[in-house]
Amino acid sequence: MNAPAWLTDLLSILMLALGFYSLWRLLIARAWGRTTDYETDALHLLAGVATAGVIAGWARTLPRGAWTVVFAAAGVYFAVRAARARGDSADRRRLLGATGCCAVLLYMFTAGVGPSTMRGSTAGQVTMAGMPGMIFDQTVTYPSIGLIFVVGLAFAAVVVVNRIGARPAPRPAPVIGGPDDGAPVLIALAPRSAQLSRVLLLLVLGYAILTKLV
């Protein structure tokens, strides 16, 4: 599927904005007396910048090999943390989701998802080995895995949207008991915007892979 240039540029800009927003959250949370999920924000920062370069060549930063190492290491980190978080189901789900995000990005960098496959897809063309001038169809690299990831990303986005609608707005409450009795509790820094950022990332990742498959 050939994506129009304006769409790839727009999505790349959105991913860069997601990365800068995550960086802003990391820098401003403590100064504002709020708390944030530093692990998730750091992942969104890296994923946003990396995905922007996958979608549009002008936004490319690190080489594909370097990004592969980064997300391989991040995936191992989140997987180990998830294995240790057996007593907290919510934290375990979060860590497993981060592990899955790293796996998707690893697939994208190793399967060849990139600007050329979005603006010049060769899906449907026949590759004949040894024939000069024939186009090699890069869209068939690990297509089954890519399709599984697309379905999983769409499902995950729906789950996150449902949670956003069902979650009440957080309110500060005083601490009861202990040495900090009566002190205000730190509330999360714009938790719904963080969830919406996750939805955006999931949908763009799914779109990037889908353009390679079709």
Angle at which helices 89-111 and 64-84 cross, to 10°: 160
Q: What is the mean pLDDT of residues 97-111?
A: 95
pLDDT digits (tens, 9 = 90+) for 76-94: 999 999 999 887 888 899 9
Mean confidence (pLDDT) of the chain: 82
Contacts of 107 (CB under 8 A, 6+ apart): 113, 142, 145, 146, 149, 209
* Higher-pLDDT residue of 114, 71: 71
Give whichever of 105-114, 166-175, 193-202 has the largest mean pLDDT. Answer: 193-202
Q: How far apart are CA 109 and CA 120, in angstroms?
A: 17
In this prediction, residue 90 carries a pLDDT of: 84
Nearest to 121 by CA among 57, 34, 212, 54: 212
Contacts of 183 (CB under 8 A, 6+ apart): 174, 175
Q: What distances in angstroms separate CA 26 from CA 35, 43, 189, 194, one per listed residue? A: 9, 11, 10, 12
Nearest to 114 by CA among 201, 43, 12, 45: 12
Question: Is residue 167 scored above 80 in pLDDT?
Answer: no
In this prediction, residue 82 carries a pLDDT of: 94
In this prediction, residue 119 carries a pLDDT of: 57
Q: What distances in angstroms separate CA 31 from CA 168, 183, 187, 211, one per listed residue? A: 24, 17, 13, 41
pTM of the model as a whole = 0.81
pLDDT digits (tens, 9 = 90+) for 13-66: 999 999 999 999 999 987 887 888 999 999 999 999 999 999 998 999 999 999
